Amino acid sequence: MPPAAVLAVPTNDQADHPRRLMRLRPMPVMHVPAAVFILTTLLLPVGAINGQNNLLFWIFGLAIATLVASGTIGAWTMASLVVERDPVSPVHVGEVTRITYRITNRSRVLPAFAVSISELSRRPWMPRSSRRPDPTWDGKLSRGVAFAEFIPCRGTVVVHALVAGIGRGMARLDTAEVWTTFPFGLSRKTILMAREQAVLVRPRAARLSPSAASMLSALLRGENQGASTHSGTGDEFHSLRDHSDGDPPGAIAWKRTATTGRLLVRQNARMLNRRVMIGIADLSRVTPAEAERTIAAAAGLVAAAAGLGLLVGLLGTATRDPLPPRLGSRPLEEVFDALARLDPSSEGPPLPPPGGVRSHLTLILDPARGPWGDGSARVLAPGDVLTPGTGESGMRAVRRGLAGRVLDTLASLLPVSEPDGALKGGGR
């Protein structure tokens, strides 16, 4: 293969298929059964010559033919495969998602059998490889293996690799290893295919302690502040305020808007404040473990408040815009996405919400539990919110050190698949 074909530069055909993985190069892999078979084969001519046994000569010839057939048929099969990777949906830490692959066999004669796919945690060396960074999914996603038992000629099979989120942040996939030991299981034929793809791992929505859940319910009912300072969508008129994202069109005061020239919204008195803003204090001075624990506590508050039917937003900082409370599940996902992308080393202190602290129920997560603003916001430490013992997930701890590498090796030897079936017909 010429060096130009080794580079991961998309061709015109690949540009028309944004999900298609680019073929890099074949990859020789030492396969233990092949080494044992070759060693045994080399002993056959020694016995045949010493004993002048014609049967051993026939067995030696059959063994050589088996090795040649295994390498030739397997290489032909792998050369006919085209692999596509579908976009991967975001996943929370501790939850499972799927990496979906579509394997197409372009051969008109030979079907493919026993094809496995797994993501590489490191990109193999190639000419001019410094232009492409290494994948970052290791430590954020568990290793998964997809397995296709049978791919018909000119057909497509959909398989899945089940992976779990084990670390918050952006996980980037790059190079996938595609291999088969068909036929005979003697030699492993491997090819590398690559395309960059990002998978967002959201923080675990930590379960709140019973005291924190009771405190949150009490605050939301306005037991500590009363109905006059918390307004919502009740029947009794309370005041007018400027329009913000998430306000229903029916709440707009059109007459006062026409008089003042500003878009104003009616606020009615209600014992339940439906707007909650959650902020995270400056985490640059705490340890990474404490920072992750604080973010998990914030995610738990977001999930608990949303479970009570409230509108949840995220306070902004000097480097990040705020996310105002809005209706629907999409704004809630945006809050979790912002928590997933949060970098504790570069985040500053949270800024007050645009409408003022008193227009929302404001909760600040601060490990030091320091003062914030004019004192109208409630400052909480992670220990006030999380259940005792909540911390780093057990999956991440298991993956550390030699035990993690052993588990990854066992996972690659025991592939699991969920094929959706073959789509027989014309190729792509």
Q: Give the span between the Cα atoms of 231 and 11, in whole angstroms.
A: 59
Residue among 227, 206, 223 nearest 214 (CA): 223
The pLDDT score that the predictor gives to residue 252 is 80
Q: How far apart are CA 349 and CA 317, in angstroms?
A: 6
Q: What is the pLDDT of residue 260?
A: 80
User: Residue 422: which H helix or E strand, with range?
Assistant: strand 422-424
- Please work out, in degrees rounded to the nearest 5, the angle formed at the alpha carbon of residue 416 by the alpha carbons of 415 and 420: 130
Tell which residue, 240, 377, 225, has the closest CA to residue 315. Answer: 377
DSSP H or E run through 410: helix 401-413
Parallel, antiparallel, or unpaired for β 189-202 and 169-180? antiparallel
Can you give the pLDDT of all 428 residues of the chain as single tens digits?
332 222 233 334 444 466 777 776 655 566 677 778 788 888 888 877 787 778 888 888 888 888 787 777 878 888 889 999 999 999 999 899 999 999 999 999 889 999 999 998 887 765 554 466 788 898 899 988 999 999 999 999 999 999 999 999 999 998 899 988 888 777 788 888 888 899 999 998 888 878 777 777 776 665 444 333 334 444 445 567 677 655 667 678 887 777 887 888 776 544 345 788 899 988 888 888 899 999 999 998 898 888 877 888 999 888 888 888 887 778 889 999 999 999 888 888 888 876 655 567 888 888 887 777 666 778 888 888 887 655 544 334 334 445 555 555 555 554 444 444 444 444 33
pLDDT of residue 239: 62
Alpha-carbon distance of 352 to 359, in angstroms, equals 11
Residue ranges and CATH numbers for the domains of the chain are 3-30+80-203+403-424 (2.60.40.10), 210-230+273-385 (no CATH), 237-270 (no CATH)
Q: Which residues pair with 165 in a beta bridge?
A: 93, 141
User: What pLDDT, on a 0 to 100 scale, did the predictor assign at position 350?
Assistant: 87
What per-residue confidence (pLDDT) applies to 426? 42
Torsion, Cα of 409, 414, 419, 424 (10° steps):
90
Q: Model-level pTM?
A: 0.70
Angle at 340 between CA 135 and CA 100, to 5 degrees: 50
CB burial readout 138-163, b (16+ within 10 A) else e: bbbbbbbbbbbeebeebbbbbbbbeb
Instruction: State which H helix or E strand residue 79 sits in.
Output: helix 54-79
Q: What is the pLDDT of residue 319?
A: 84
| Predicted pLDDT of residue 233 | 43
C-alpha 252/C-alpha 258 separation (Å) is 11
